[in-house]
Structure 1
Amino acid sequence: MSATAPGSAYAPTERTIPSRGRKRATYDRALVHAILDEGYVCHLGFVRDGAPVVLPTLYARVGERLYVHGSTGSRPLRAAGGPDGGSGDGLPVCLTVTHLDGLVLARSAFHHSVNYRSVVVHGTAREVTGPAERAAALDALVDQAVPGRSADTRPPSARELAATAVVALDLAEVSAKVRTGGPNDEPEDLGLPHWSGVLPVRRTFGPLVPADDLAPDVAVPDYLAAF
C-alpha cells in the first residue's frame, strides 16, 4: 500500500495500527523522517527456515527509501534477490528504529515506563544491484553516521564492492510511536513515599581519538566540529 502525498502522512494499514497504545501512534511523514534520520542502527526482522530472525545493522534514508547495509554472503541478501540464487521477488521484512529518551519512574512498579520515539516499517526488501544507485546508497550509509564523510574517504575498491551488499526498502507501510511526559501514577498512590519522575537519557559524543598511525599534519575536518 502506497503512502499519501509527500509532506503529509503515511496511510495506516492493518499492520501499522497498534493493538495497544494507539494514542501514541502517528503516521506523520516529517516525524517519521526525523526519527529515522537521527539514528544509526536499525533492527531488520525476517523469517528464515520457518523461524524469526532479527539482525542489527546500519541504515540510511534517501527520500522515501531506506538502504540497509549487508554482506553479499548473508542469507537475507540472497533471499532478497542477490547473485547467489535469489528469486528476485524480494524478502518480506519488518524494520525498526528506536530512540530511548527517558526512564519513567512511577510510585508503583507496574507503571514504570520509558519515554521513546520509534518507527516500524513493513515491506519487501530488494537487493540494490544498479551501479549508480548502489554507489549513492553506500555514500548515504557513510553520511548517515557522519554527514559529509563519504566525500572525504577513498571510494570502495572493486574487491570491497564485491563483498558489500545493500538492501532497499521503500517507506510505504510505516508508523511511528512516541511516549513523552511523566509517570501515570494511580490516584491512590500519590501519597506514597516513593520518588516519582523521569530520568532523561541523552546521547553524547566524547572527544576525538585519532588513529595511532595518523600523520600529525592531517587536520580534523570541519564536518566533525558538530560532534
Structure 2
Amino acid sequence: MSLTENAPFIAVVGVTGAVGQEFLSVLSDRDFPYRSIKMLASKRSTGRRITFEDKDYVVEELTPDSFAGVDIEFFSAGGSIGMEFGSLAVDRGTVVVDNSSAFRMEEKVPLVIPEANPEAMQHIKLGTGKGTLIANRNWCCVWLLVAASGAGAPAMEDLELQTREVLEGKTPTCKIFKLQYAFNLFSHNASVLSNGYNEEEMKMVKEIMKIWNDKDMKVTATCI
C-alpha cells in the first residue's frame, strides 16, 4: 500500500486507456508513495469505477479545474489534450509527466528515458510550487521490437481479434489500420515527408538525438 500522509497528491489522466492502466500498474509495482490519487479521463468515461490497491475510485472528467492541489500528473490522453491541459497543470504548479508527442521536441522540456539520461530531471523538485513538464519518448525509441503498436488499447484489441480469426481461417476484421495486422508487416500509417521518411521514423531520429544530446549523431529508422 502506497498511501503516505506526507507524499505527493497525484493524478492519472487517460486512466481508462491501455497506457493509463499501465501507469497504475507501475505506481503499484514500484510502491510509489502518494497521499491521494485522482482518476481522470474524458467525459465519456466519467463515472466509471476503478479498483486500485484494494480501493474503489470513480473516474472524474478532465477539466481545467482538475489540477488544484495536484503535485504530480501523469498524462496519457493524446497530443492535443496534453498540449491544452498539460500547460494548464504546469501553470497550477504541477509536475507533469506527458506521454504524448506534444512537448517532446520543445527545447526546455526534458525528454527522458530514465535508464539513459536521468540527469535531465535533476533540476525538478517537488514542493517548490513551480510546475514543470517532463516528456516521455516515442514508444518505438525504446520498445523497437517488443510492442505491436503505439496506437493503444483499440489496436491491441484488433491484433487479438485478427489473430484468432486468421488462426481459424477467417477473413480478419480490420478496424484501426484498415489492413491485416496479425501475422503481417506494412509501412507505418504516418505521412511520408519530403525526405522520404515517414513522420514516425523522423520522431525516432530527432528524439534519439535529443535524449543523447548529440545533434551530429547519425540515426536512421524504418517503421513498419
TM-score interval, normalised by the smaller of the two chains: under 0.3
Higher helix share: 2
Superposition TM-score, scaled by structure 1 size: 0.25
Larger radius of gyration: 1
